[in-house]
Amino acid sequence: MQNRVICFLFFLQSAEAEKIQKTDKQQVCESIYKEGEQLENYTKYKLKSSDELTSLLADKDNLFIIACNKCFKEFETTDEPDCGEFEKIVADQGKTVTGSAKVDFLCNKIQTEKKLQDMIPEGTENVFVISCGLGIQTVADLAGKPVYAASNSLNYTGHHGMALTKKSCDACAQCYLNITGGVCPIVDCSKSLVNGQCGGAKNGKCEVDSNKDCAWEKIYKRLEKQGRLEEFLNQPVQMRDYSKVNFKVINDYVKSIRENRLDGYYGGVHPSERKEFSEHLPLERFPDPETVVIPLSMHAGAPANPVVQVGDTVKVGQKIGEAAAFISSPIHSSVSGTVTAIEMHGHATRGECMSVVIKSDGKNTLHESVKPHKDLDSLTPEEIVDIVREAGIVGMGGAGFPTSVKLKPPKPIDTILLNGCECEPLLTADHRVMLEFADDVIFGLKAIIKTVGAEKGLIVIEDNKPDAIELMQAKTADISEIDVVVAKTKYPQGAEKMLIKRVMGRQVPRGGLPADVGCVVSNISTTKAISDAIRKGMPLVERVVTVTGERLKKPGNYIVKIGTNTKDLIDYCGGVTGDDITIKAGGPMMGFVLSDVNVPIMKGSNGIIVVDTDHTVEQPCIKCGRCVDVCPMELSPLYFAKYADEQKWQEMKDMNVMDCVECRSCEYICSSKIPLVSKIKAGKNAVRGMK
Amino acid sequence: MLITQLKAKETIASLIDGKKVFVINCHGCKEVHFPEKEAVELQKELEAAGKLTGAITTDYICNPDNMKLRLEKHMSEIEAADVVLVLSCGVGVQTIAEYLEEKKVCAACDTYPMPGFQGVTPLEYNCDQCGECYLNLTGGICPITACSKSLVNGQCGGSKNGKCEVDSNMECGWERIYRRLKQLGRLDVLKCPTQIRNYATDEEVSK
């Protein structure tokens, strides 16, 4: 800030020099949008002058060139001109270039470090970097060779807003906006006066720059409009604190948030949890529905084939659909009653699906097949796999992969990770299951350990559920093969690849499965279902569902029969408030929007949420780089949006779109509100079709 | 992308002055910093006192188009309020103040400077955007940000045991530069002519 004062004096002395500088920069900062729109190009560097570069190059040869693809500008996939310009200067000097590379977000040390491996060929003596100072320092730290800057950073003091509008903030640490009607005197007044106008303005224009409105006149007008002149004039004189902030303070701060954010695995986000609506509410059994609609597809793989007919009488736990393939699952009735129809019916994730409609007789008579199996010690692994398959157990976290297939991994397994993270905001179903069915969950884990022959079972719980951690620790204290791991809350920790990385430090290979690194990950509710299947002989016919959200009247956690209508569930919870609402099956991050709530609860329905509709429109990407910063799979989501719009599917495939776990972190953080996940899904579909 | 901190309780109380309040939280830069806990507390207190006409949590209010779309359905709550209290950086407050020109819009946060990190997701390095990169003369360590005094021609002589005299927890930037150059076998660059920093390039572009 002292610089600013000096700068100002200097400015008065050398207006001519300043003018030249300004023209230079204005070219770079040229508005990339047509008049009326406010998006500006804040590209942060510019190639040094050719004279300076020529003398810099004089005694250097065998050069490798690294150029950063720039940020905070309209995102184009065409090459930036700087690298070509520099290469031309180098060629004019007759220098040998060992190679060049163009990198996104060069300042992202973790990603740049990976990219730099094997990038710089043998024989390179000097590395030239075209980037802002951040990128140059990153490379200088990592390259192990002399690194030179071929560019100068440009200063856009005050442009901190993510939207690249013309609003500025000088971060003075003493916000004056409250006394100035929201017009900033530091940036809008040429002299940064904080106690009123200098008196030099003519016809409302600044005396320093006659194209500029006098900020203090703007402030006066706005306050007059709001009737706040009195209040302003009574303000005591403001004294500005010019004390300089030590770079180290900032650096330490940044380092600490960096470490915090990257703890366990790269990327991730921290959306507001809002679990307080329902985390304290004990499980309640949802009243028996009169009719259930049970879809034949509630799992990954082939839909089940119905084995009942209209008019048949069925009982609770009776098989009504047979697995149709290896990757498939049987379906069971959740009520006793009569099959009234087998027809297409609305489905939360597939639009429509063949479903068995059963009218309940209200008696809940158990089917003869529902009886306890042998105790765990006498069951063989094969028998457990059969029980799990016949009970129709699939991953209840949403993906619906048949658990019996997971229990026969192709590779040796040493560790079972029980996923108690429940990192989705709002949802509390697994949390309540851990609290109220701790013994069942532990039994289920023991069964999985036995089935796959693992050495260890780890129950991983995020630190926002201290009661569950305490209970599980107490319950497993004397079980040698089971431990509780407390993980710092971060979304999407519950995604299996992230969980394995966080807990085991192992990296599941690209396109690989947890079994490739000796792990099996199981969901809490699924594990409880395994226990029910063994101990009670009860197939998967009910599950715990969190019904919540700021627009639902009475949130709660319910034990719900599969096939119960979602609308009944919402009505039972007092209905919704207001009309501009969004209902999702699942959590706010990975859930599916329900345009029609006349759909059944399924094996993977961990939550129904009713939230405010968010009104935004997609805007052009500004290359802020946040999606790259948060992607836990270390991908570059901004390219997926770009390529999807241009239908460049091969390019999308080359950027590893198939690795995306659709956690929606990129879409959550996107400053332009681009619907990245739907674009990614379109890309994935197209890539699948390419094979 | 800025660090914001909630203003002192008394300051906020005097801003509100017992009037009705609508609160806007901006979570756009939350992964960098946002005083979430304190913000929630403040809103609970306002609600308990019956002073809250409404509150929204949104992101990137510095983007005027989406900000307007999101405020639209809350306009009646905003109209019912005497003060719109914005919890965001200075850019966000100004954007809202301009949109709600007739309303008293107040900043509940102070925005702290993060020199060298403007607009970028916070990463490990500092760059003061001085406009005349010195990194070629310093082995890639920035003397503007690594030295407390931003000296460009070598150490001030005040460091003790490699620590800066301004902040004894900080390593002397010039000692780091010396070590890096020595490691690279490039100590000869220290013999280059004196650098004069041109402060005129530092500013004005944004205006």
pTM, entire model: 0.83
- Chain A, 98 to 127: residues with Cβ < 8 Å from chain B are 107-109
- Chain B, 92 to 111: residues with Cβ < 8 Å from chain A are 92-98, 101-107, 109-111
In a domain, A233, yes or no: no
**Tens digit of pLDDT for each residue in A339-360?**
999 999 999 998 899 999 999 9
What CATH number is attached to the domain comprising B67?
Answer: 3.40.50.2300
Residue written as token pair 């005197």? A185
pLDDT of residue A23: 34
pLDDT of residue A29: 34
Domain identity same for A285 and A334: yes
Domain identity same for A659 and A591: no
Domain identity same for A437 and A474: yes
Contact B91 A167 (CB under 8 A): yes
- Domain of A318, in residue numbers: 277-370+541-612
Q: Using the CB atoms, write b or e for A409-423: b if 16+ within 10 Å.
A: beeebebbbbbbbbb
Domain identity same for B96 and B179: no
Domain identity same for B20 and B80: yes
In a domain, A320, yes or no: yes
pLDDT of residue B123: 53
In a domain, B130, yes or no: no
Q: Which of B77, B112, B147 is the last residue of a domain?
A: B112
In a domain, B64, yes or no: yes
pLDDT of residue A675: 96
pLDDT of residue A651: 95
In a domain, B204, yes or no: no
C-beta of residue A57 within 8 angstroms of C-beta of residue A89: yes
Contact B123 A18 (CB under 8 A): no
From CA A430, how far away is CA A496, in angstroms rounded?
16
pLDDT tops 50 at residue A639: yes
Q: Which of A522, A552, A572 is the last residue of a domain?
A: A522
In a domain, A393, yes or no: no
Q: Would you call B60 an interface residue with chain A, using a CB distance cutoff of 8 Å?
A: yes
Domain identity same for B148 and B50: no
Domain identity same for A466 and A364: no
Domain identity same for A467 and A424: yes
- pLDDT band with cut points at 50, 70 and 90 for residue A468: very high
- Domain of B156, in residue numbers: 135-190
Domain identity same for A637 and A607: no
Residue B75's alpha-carbon distances to A269, B69, B92, B100, in angstroms, are 30, 11, 18, 10
Q: Would you call A10 an interface residue with chain B, using a CB distance cutoff of 8 Å?
A: yes
pLDDT of residue A40: 59
Q: Would you call B158 an interface residue with chain A, using a CB distance cutoff of 8 Å?
A: no
pLDDT of residue B82: 92
Q: What is chain B's Cα-based Rg?
A: 23
pLDDT of residue A504: 96
Domain identity same for B44 and B105: yes
In a domain, A450, yes or no: yes
Higher pLDDT, B19 or A71: B19
Selecting from A108, A245, A261 the residue whose C-beta is nearest the C-beta of B113 gives: A245
- pLDDT band with cut points at 50, 70 and 90 for residue A138: confident
pLDDT of residue A27: 35
Q: Would you call B207 an interface residue with chain A, using a CB distance cutoff of 8 Å?
A: yes
Identify the top-confidence range among A84-88, A256-260, A509-513, A555-559.
Answer: A555-559
DSSP B82: S
Specify the number of domains making up chain B. 2
In a domain, A564, yes or no: yes
Domain identity same for A602 and A638: no
Q: Would you call A161 an interface residue with chain B, using a CB distance cutoff of 8 Å?
A: yes
Minimal C-alpha gap between A27 and chain B (Å): 11
- For CA atoms A104, A107, A110, A116, give the dihedral sign: positive
Region of poorest pLDDT, from A18-27, A175-184, A632-641, A682-691 = A18-27
3-class SS of residue A202: strand
Domain identity same for B77 and B139: no
Task: Select from A159, A231, A254 the residue whose CB has the most chain B CBs within 10 Å, as the one to mutate to test that interface.
Answer: A254
Q: Which of A522, A554, A574 is the last residue of a domain?
A: A522
Contact A133 B128 (CB under 8 A): yes
pLDDT of residue A691: 66
Region of poorest pLDDT, from A360-364, A571-575, B24-28 = B24-28
- Mean pLDDT over A505-529 rounds to 95
pLDDT of residue A71: 82
Domain identity same for A413 and A517: yes
In a domain, A606, yes or no: yes
What CATH number is attached to the domain comprising A50?
Answer: 3.40.50.10660
3-class SS of residue A628: helix
In a domain, A97, yes or no: yes
Q: Would you call A270 an interface residue with chain B, using a CB distance cutoff of 8 Å?
A: yes
pLDDT of residue A20: 31
Selecting from A4, A161, A178 the residue whose C-beta is nearest the C-beta of B91 gives: A161
Domain identity same for B83 and B155: no
Find the closest chain A residue to B67 by CA distance. Answer: A616
Residue written as token pair 């209010």? B61
Domain identity same for A456 and A427: yes
pLDDT of residue B129: 67
Selecting from A155, A209, A619 the residue whose C-beta is nearest the C-beta of B205 gives: A155
Contact B1 A162 (CB under 8 A): yes
User: Which chain B residues have a beta carbon less than 8 Å from that of A173?
Assistant: 110-113
Residue B88's alpha-carbon distances to A185, A280, A301, B10, in angstroms, are 18, 31, 47, 18
Q: Which amino acid is at A445?
A: L
Find the closest chain A residue to B145 by CA distance. Answer: A247
- Mean pLDDT over A293-305 rounds to 95
In a domain, A569, yes or no: yes
Q: Residues of chain B whose pLDDT is less than 70?
A: 1-3, 113-127, 129, 200-207
Q: Residue A100: how many CA atoms within 13 Å on its side-chain side?
A: 19
Contact B127 A6 (CB under 8 A): no
**Tens digit of pLDDT for each residue in A373-423?**
999 999 999 999 999 999 999 999 888 999 999 999 999 999 999 999 999
Shortest CA distance to A358 belongs to which of A295, A292, A273? Answer: A292
Q: Would you call B166 an interface residue with chain A, using a CB distance cutoff of 8 Å?
A: yes
In a domain, B167, yes or no: yes
Minimal C-alpha gap between A220 and chain B (Å): 13
Q: Would you call B112 an interface residue with chain A, using a CB distance cutoff of 8 Å?
A: yes
CB atoms within 10 A of CB A691: 4
Kindly provide the ipTM of the predicted complex, given to two decimals: 0.78
What CATH number is attached to the domain comprising A338?
Answer: 3.10.20.600
Minimal C-alpha gap between B162 and chain A (Å): 15
From CA A380, how far away is CA A432, in angstroms rounded?
31
Domain identity same for B28 and B108: yes
Residue written as token pair 């020529």? A54
Considering chain A, what is the average pLDDT of its residues? 88
In a domain, B47, yes or no: yes
3-class SS of residue A635: coil
Q: Would you call A19 an interface residue with chain B, using a CB distance cutoff of 8 Å?
A: no
Contact B203 A11 (CB under 8 A): yes
Phi, psi of A139 (to 5 degrees): -65, -40
pLDDT of residue A328: 95
Shortest CA distance to A680 belongs to which of B167, A690, A659? Answer: A659
Q: Which of A571, A586, A612 is the last residue of a domain?
A: A612
pLDDT of residue A247: 66
Domain identity same for B104 and B15: yes
Domain identity same for B11 and B93: yes
pLDDT of residue B119: 42
The torsion region of residue A415 among left (phi > 0), alpha (psi -120 to 50) and beta comes to: beta
pLDDT of residue A33: 35
From CA A619, how far away is CA A74, in angstroms rounded?
11
C-beta of residue B204 within 8 angstroms of C-beta of residue A11: yes
- Chain A, 185 to 214: residues with Cβ < 8 Å from chain B are 187, 190, 209, 212
Domain identity same for A129 and A50: yes
Domain identity same for A473 and A498: yes
Domain identity same for B99 and B180: no
C-beta of residue B32 within 8 angstroms of C-beta of residue B1: yes
In a domain, B172, yes or no: yes
Domain identity same for B21 and B92: yes
Domain identity same for A604 and A630: no
Burial of A450 (0-12, 13-18, 19+ CB in 10 A): middle
Specify the number of domains making up chain A. 4
In a domain, B117, yes or no: no
Token couple for A181:
């009607």
In a domain, B83, yes or no: yes
Residue written as token pair 């572009």? B205
